[in-house]
Amino acid sequence: MARDVTDTTPIASRDALVEWLAAGCKTSGAPLRIGTEHEKIPFYSDTLTAVPYSCVDGRCGVGSLLEGVQEATGWEPIMDRDALIGLAQTDGGGAISIEPGGQFELSGAPLVDIHATSSELGAHLSALAGVAHSLGVQFLDLGASPKWSRAETPVMPKQRYKIMSAYMPKVGSRGLDMMFRTATIQANLDFTSEADMVEKVRVGLALQPLVTALFANSPFLDGKPTGRLSQRSYIWLDTDPDRTGMLPFAFEDGFGFERYVDYALDVPMYFVKRGDVYHDVAGASFRDLLEGRLQQLPGERAVMSDWANHLSTIFPEVRLKTYLEMRGADGGPRAHMTALPALFAGLFYDSAALDQARQLTRGWDAAARQKLREDVPSLALDATIEGRGLREIARDVLDLARAGLKRRAYRNAQGEDETIYLAPLEKIVSDGRTLAEQRLELYRGAWGGSVDGAFRDCVIPL
């Protein structure tokens, strides 16, 4: 999340929280938009070392990257006390933020088609290129940093990350790796009604393990292969069970905005932000804040910004806000940054494709979905569910998405529709090799058993 919310409207009741989510429903005739987020892992090209926030020994870091992009774009600064920690478009569109270990993230604006997403991505990388080159910085296109230990990974100067870092080891064994050493691509989608939201949450949750398999691209950690194709996804399996996972309750009768609110209220808080200060309330109940009896802040009552910020600290495979976030993909190359939103635009923004996707996944029960989620970090497309191989299911899903995108019929200046952005996924399925498997072959071959080759062959061109 690029910027924590500052809405000071008091929350009168639980109903106000439900209404806040329901306000995300797009009115009839309003265009359904797609937002795309992607994180990139920076490194110094001459030393293959991580990039800190501040200048050290004459070398400048992530803070200088932000300053340079601000100068190139004119975007507004986002501050955490005295530290520049992000940028926001002046028209309220996209934003840039830095993740805990320096991962550089673009949170794209909500756009009407994937052609616009591709143009936005090109503009972002162009703005980043000049300053990155001047600092000797490049960006890995992997879903986890392949070389540096956690101790060698820098820490960004954001108050919320300090609070999260202290809490994570209390609730899981891999939360700090999630924060500091992983990168993702995320697609954000609209819904038109509560029923539409429910359908998309269910299809999205059922398909997130498939997304993880298609985008598997994090086979290394600590300088060697981990034995998994998506180490990023494996890390999430033991980060914090209170705020992660496949949300089996979303498939139960009666699921809707109210049920998600009750789930979110039961997720422990990290912080309460007042002014420029993040108050550490990690483990506390949002219900207590609603009722003005939070022990750490006696008498303080919840406002709408507390709710928005709290929802941003919940990390299920599909997250509900006033839009839906698809969270299953590893970070990857530029083509993957447009492939993920294209996949879900084709599935979610065409009624026939959405219905067929629901039919395809309808017979998968909670146990089967969970087993698939646990299998895909190691097996990727070789995993199975209900007797079917995931590679075969991927072909079906891509066919549905392709048909949906064709019916959407959004064309670029060359007359091409959005199906062009599915090409990297279709190649992975047809070739039978994920990016992770391709990179492992390089490790065993051209890289000579060293992950240093990734800093040459797994770099985002600027």
pLDDT per residue over 265-307, tens digit each? 999 999 999 999 999 999 999 999 999 999 999 999 999 999 9
* pLDDT over 80 (residue 32): yes
Domain ranges of the chain: 14-453
Please state whether beta strands 315-316 and 244-245 pair in parallel, antiparallel, or not at all (unpaired). Answer: parallel
Q: What is the pLDDT of residue 451?
A: 98
Q: What is the pLDDT of residue 5?
A: 61
Q: What is the pLDDT of residue 1?
A: 45
Q: What is the pLDDT of residue 432?
A: 93
184: tokens are 């993702």
Buried b (16+ CB within 10 A) or exposed e, 304-326: bbbbbbbbbbbbbbbbbbbbbbb
This prediction's pTM: 0.97
Strand, helix or coil for residue 54: coil
105: tokens are 């993230």
Q: In percent, how much of the chain has pLDDT > 90?
A: 96
Q: What is the pLDDT of residue 3?
A: 53
Mean pLDDT of the chain: 97
Report the amino acid identity of residue 179: M
- Chosen CATH of 14-453 out of 3.30.590.20, 3.30.43.10, 1.10.760.10, 3.40.190.10: 3.30.590.20
Alpha-carbon torsion (77, 79, 84, 86), positive or negative: negative
201: tokens are 């949450």
| Span 434-446, average pLDDT | 98
* pLDDT over 90 (residue 431): yes
pLDDT per residue over 202-232, tens digit each? 999 999 999 999 999 999 999 999 999 999 9
Q: What is the pLDDT of residue 91?
A: 83
Closest CA to 321 of 6, 16, 93, 25: 25
Residues 6+ apart with CB under 8 A from 256: 194, 197, 198
pLDDT per residue over 310-368, tens digit each? 999 999 999 999 999 999 999 999 999 999 999 999 999 999 999 999 999 999 999 99
pLDDT per residue over 120-139, tens digit each? 999 999 999 999 999 999 99
- 194-214 and 366-379 helices cross at what angle (nearest 10)? 30
| Span 97-112, average pLDDT | 98
| Span 394-417, average pLDDT | 98
* pLDDT over 60 (residue 2): no
Q: What number of residues does the chain have?
A: 462
State the residue for tokens 């936005």: 120
106: tokens are 């673009």
| Span 12-34, average pLDDT | 94
For residue 430, count CB atoms less than 10 angstroms from its CB and return exposed for 0-12, middle for 13-18, buried for 19 or more.
Answer: exposed
Partner residues linked to 67 by β-bridges: none
* pLDDT over 80 (residue 6): no
Q: What is the pLDDT of residue 121?
A: 98
